[in-house]
């Protein structure tokens, strides 16, 4: 009987430890309560390619968004229009499409001896889409920027991070 209690105690400690370690994996860039609405606001950041391509997951209450920040060499004067589509290829092979929630204008600056342009765009995302991202992650991101299609293949380690971060955003 004493041996059985020891095994049950050990199993309980292991289960609690697993739950605790899962919670510690969620390193939010932002995790606070909106003082106006009292809704929890969270953001997870993933740098996918150097500092040139960043994807964030955002949640305020039950509203979800996917955010993209991209830096391009050279001065670009086009605008990412509302409704522009960001496509993410999931680990399952399916493609999820996200429409830009608003216009994104370019921000150009001098970096050393070069001019660079940054775009920061926010895309609508349903809870069902975030759930699929949590289940499969994504391995390819593609968006039409001006007259070119920007496609980035995500390394395997980063692809699993996209999955883990989506799971964290879904946590209540």
Give Rg (Cα) of the chain. Answer: 20
pLDDT above 70: residue 1: no
pLDDT per residue as tens digits for the range 105-163: 999 999 889 999 999 999 999 999 999 999 999 999 999 988 889 999 999 889 999 99
- Residue 33's alpha-carbon distances to 61, 92, 119, in angstroms, are 9, 34, 27
Q: Which domains are seen in the chain, by residue range?
A: 28-170 (2.60.40)
Question: Which of 150, 168, 2 lies closest to 73 in space, CA to CA?
Answer: 150
Separation of first and last alpha carbons in the chain: 38
The greatest distance separating any two alpha carbons of the chain, rounded to the nearest whole angstrom, comes to: 75
Residue 144 pairs with which residues in a beta bridge? 149
pLDDT per residue as tens digits for the range 69-88: 999 889 988 999 999 999 99
Alpha helices in the chain (DSSP H): 2-24, 127-136, 156-170
pLDDT at 17: 46
Question: Which of 82, 77, 64, 52 lies closest to 150 in space, CA to CA?
Answer: 52
Q: Tell me the average pLDDT of the chain.
A: 87
**Hey, is 154 helix, strand or coil?**
coil
pLDDT per residue as tens digits for the range 103-118: 999 999 998 899 999 9
Going edge to edge, which strands form the sheet with 114-125? 30-33, 40-49, 53-60, 63-73, 114-125, 107-111
pLDDT above 50: residue 5: no
């Amino acid at each position: 009987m004493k041996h059985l209690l020891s095994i049950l105690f050990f199993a309980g400690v292991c289960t609690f430890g697993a739950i605790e370690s899962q919670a510690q994996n969620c390193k939010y860039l932002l995790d606070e309560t909106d003082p106006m609405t009292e809704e929890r606001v969270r953001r997870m950041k993933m740098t996918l390619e150097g500092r040139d391509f960043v994807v964030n997951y955002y949640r305020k209450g039950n509203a979800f968004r996917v955010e993209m920040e991209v830096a391009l060499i050279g001065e670009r004067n086009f605008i990412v229009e509302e409704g522009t589509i960001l496509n993410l290829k999931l680990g399952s092979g399916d493609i999820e499409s996200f429409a830009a929630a608003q216009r994104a204008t370019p921000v150009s600056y001098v970096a050393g001896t070069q001019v660079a342009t940054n775009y920061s765009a926010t895309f609508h995302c349903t809870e069902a889409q975030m759930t699929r991202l949590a289940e499969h992650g994504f391995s390819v991101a593609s968006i039409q920027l001006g007259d070119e299609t920007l496609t980035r293949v995500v390394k395997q380690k980063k692809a699993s991070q996209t999955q883990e971060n989506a799971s964290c955003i879904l946590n209540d």
